[in-house]
Amino acid sequence: MYRYIPFLLGLLFWSSCYNEYAQYSNNPTDYAIIPQVQSLEPMDGLFVWSDQVKLDAPADLKEEAAWLSAILEEQYDVAIGQRSGGQIQMRVEADSSNQESYTLDIHPDKILLVGASERAVFWGLQTLMQLTRKDTDLDGAIVVPTGRIVDEPVYGYRGMHLDVCRHFFSVDFIKRYLDVMAMHKINTFHWHLTEDQGWRIEIKRYPELTNVGAWRNGTIVGHYPGERNDEERYGGFYTQEEVKEVVAYAADRHITVIPEIELPGHSSAAIAAYPSLSCFPSEPTQVNNGMMSEASVALQAAGQEKIVQETWGVFDDVYCAGKEGTFSFVENVLTEIMDLFPAELIHIGGDECPKGNWKRCHHCQKRIQDEGLKDEHELQSYFITRVEQFVNSKGKQIIGWDEILEGGLAPNASVMSWRGTQGGIEAAEQGHTVVMSPTSHCYFDYYQSEDRANEPLAIGGFLPVEKVYAFDPMPESLAADKKNYILGGQANLWTEYIGTEEQAWYMLLPRMTAISEALWTNTANKDFEDFKVRLQDVRADYDRLGYNYAKHVFEE
Ligand SMILES: [Zn+2]
User: What distance in angstroms lies between residue 326's CA and the mean position of ligand 1's atoms?
Assistant: 9
Distance separating alpha carbons of residues 123 and 115, to the nearest angstrom: 9
Distance separating alpha carbons of residues 480 and 484, to the nearest angstrom: 8
User: What distance in angstroms lies between residue 205's CA and the mean position of ligand 1's atoms?
Assistant: 23
Res. 7 pLDDT band, cuts 50 70 90: low
Tens of pLDDT along 136-167?
A: 999 999 999 999 999 999 999 999 999 999 99
Pairing of strands 256-263, 188-192: parallel
Cβ of 73: how many Cβ atoms within 10 Å? Answer: 12
- Which amino acid is present at 392? N
User: What distance in angstroms lies between residue 365's CA and the mean position of ligand 1's atoms?
Assistant: 7
User: What distance in angstroms lies between residue 362's CA and the mean position of ligand 1's atoms?
Assistant: 7
List the one residue out of 12, 15, 25 whose CA is nearest residue 138. 25
- What are the DSSP calls for 126-140, one per residue? HHHHHH-EEEGGGTT
- What pLDDT score does 2 carry? 56
- What pLDDT score does 384 carry? 98
Domain residue extents for the chain: 16-151, 157-543
Residue 203: half-sphere exposure toward Cβ, Cα within 13 Å: 26
- What pLDDT score does 9 carry? 53
List the one residue out of 100, 9, 12 whose CA is nearest residue 52. 12
Residue 314: half-sphere exposure toward Cβ, Cα within 13 Å: 10
**What percent of the chain is modeled with pLDDT above 70?**
97
Q: In degrees rounded to 5, what are phi and psi of residue 377?
A: -65, -40
**What would the mean pLDDT of 296-316 be, rounded to a whole number?**
96
Class of the CATH domain delimited by 157-543: alpha beta
User: What distance in angstroms lies between residue 498's CA and the mean position of ligand 1's atoms?
Assistant: 34
User: What distance in angstroms lies between residue 322's CA and the mean position of ligand 1's atoms?
Assistant: 5
User: What distance in angstroms lies between residue 378's CA and the mean position of ligand 1's atoms?
Assistant: 14
User: For the chain, how many helices (H) and strands (E)?
Assistant: 19, 24
List the one residue out of 67, 55, 192 whose CA is nearest residue 112. 55
Alpha-helical regions (H) of 214-293: 240-252, 268-273
User: What distance in angstroms lies between residue 358's CA and the mean position of ligand 1's atoms?
Assistant: 5
User: What distance in angstroms lies between residue 426's CA and the mean position of ligand 1's atoms?
Assistant: 29
User: What distance in angstroms lies between residue 307's CA and the mean position of ligand 1's atoms?
Assistant: 19
User: What distance in angstroms lies between residue 306's CA and the mean position of ligand 1's atoms?
Assistant: 16
User: What distance in angstroms lies between residue 357's CA and the mean position of ligand 1's atoms?
Assistant: 7
User: What distance in angstroms lies between residue 476's CA and the mean position of ligand 1's atoms?
Assistant: 41
User: What distance in angstroms lies between residue 234's CA and the mean position of ligand 1's atoms?
Assistant: 30
Tens of pLDDT along 511-540?
A: 999 999 999 999 999 999 999 999 999 999
User: What distance in angstroms lies between residue 321's CA and the mean position of ligand 1's atoms?
Assistant: 5
Pairing of strands 414-417, 434-436: parallel
Task: Decide if pLDDT at 3 tops 70.
Answer: no
Cβ of 121: how many Cβ atoms within 10 Å? Answer: 26
Contact at 8 Å (CB) between 372 and 366?
A: no
Task: Decide if pLDDT at 268 tops 60.
Answer: yes
Distance separating alpha carbons of residues 262 and 276, to the nearest angstrom: 17
**What would the mean pLDDT of 89-95 be, rounded to a whole number?**
94
User: What distance in angstroms lies between residue 165's CA and the mean position of ligand 1's atoms?
Assistant: 25
**What would the mean pLDDT of 56-82 be, rounded to a whole number?**
96
Q: In degrees rounded to 5, what are phi and psi of residue 416?
A: -105, 110
User: What distance in angstroms lies between residue 317's CA and the mean position of ligand 1's atoms?
Assistant: 10
Cβ of 454: how many Cβ atoms within 10 Å? Answer: 6
Distance separating alpha carbons of residues 335 and 292, to the nearest angstrom: 34
User: What distance in angstroms lies between residue 263's CA and the mean position of ligand 1's atoms?
Assistant: 13
User: What distance in angstroms lies between residue 366's CA and the mean position of ligand 1's atoms?
Assistant: 9
User: What distance in angstroms lies between residue 349's CA and the mean position of ligand 1's atoms?
Assistant: 19
Contact at 8 Å (CB) between 189 and 256?
A: yes
List the one residue out of 398, 485, 472, 407 whose CA is nearest residue 438. 472
Distance separating alpha carbons of residues 549 and 33, to the nearest angstrom: 18
List the one residue out of 427, 410, 417 whose CA is nearest residue 473. 417
User: What distance in angstroms lies between residue 279's CA and the mean position of ligand 1's atoms?
Assistant: 4
User: What distance in angstroms lies between residue 320's CA and the mean position of ligand 1's atoms?
Assistant: 4
- What pLDDT score does 184 carry? 98
**H or E element: which one contains 216?**
strand 215-216
Distance separating alpha carbons of residues 511 and 398, to the nearest angstrom: 28
User: What distance in angstroms lies between residue 381's CA and the mean position of ligand 1's atoms?
Assistant: 15
- What pLDDT score does 407 carry? 93
Instruction: Point out which residues pair with 102 in neighbouring strands.
Output: 115, 151
User: What distance in angstroms lies between residue 103's CA and the mean position of ligand 1's atoms?
Assistant: 56
User: What distance in angstroms lies between residue 402's CA and the mean position of ligand 1's atoms?
Assistant: 23
Tens of pLDDT along 341-373?
A: 999 999 999 999 999 999 999 999 999 999 999
User: What distance in angstroms lies between residue 280's CA and the mean position of ligand 1's atoms?
Assistant: 7
Task: Decide if pLDDT at 52 tops 80.
Answer: yes
User: What distance in angstroms lies between residue 331's CA and the mean position of ligand 1's atoms?
Assistant: 17
Distance separating alpha carbons of residues 185 and 107, to the nearest angstrom: 23
- The residues, ordered by sequence, that sit 6+ positions from 450 with a Cβ below 8 Å of its Cβ are 462
User: What distance in angstroms lies between residue 277's CA and the mean position of ligand 1's atoms?
Assistant: 9
Whether the CA torsion 170, 176, 179, 183 is positive or negative: it is negative
Return the CATH number of the domain spanning residue range 16-151.
3.30.379.10
CA angle 32, 257, 441 (to 5 degrees): 55
Tens of pLDDT along 466-514?
A: 999 999 999 999 999 999 999 999 999 999 999 999 999 999 999 999 9
User: What distance in angstroms lies between residue 114's CA and the mean position of ligand 1's atoms?
Assistant: 56
Contact at 8 Å (CB) between 91 and 65?
A: no
The three-state (H, E, C) secondary structure of 433-461, written as one string: CEEECCHHHHECCEECCCCHHHCCCCCEE
Task: Decide if pLDDT at 276 tops 90.
Answer: yes
Distance separating alpha carbons of residues 2 and 20, to the nearest angstrom: 30
Q: Is 379 exposed, middle or buried (0-12, 13-18, 19+ CB in 10 A)?
A: buried
Task: Decide if pLDDT at 4 tops 80.
Answer: no
Distance separating alpha carbons of residues 81 and 518, to the nearest angstrom: 36
- What pLDDT score does 8 carry? 54
Tens of pLDDT along 239-267?
A: 999 999 999 999 999 999 999 999 999 99
User: What distance in angstroms lies between residue 319's CA and the mean position of ligand 1's atoms?
Assistant: 7
User: What distance in angstroms lies between residue 132's CA and the mean position of ligand 1's atoms?
Assistant: 59
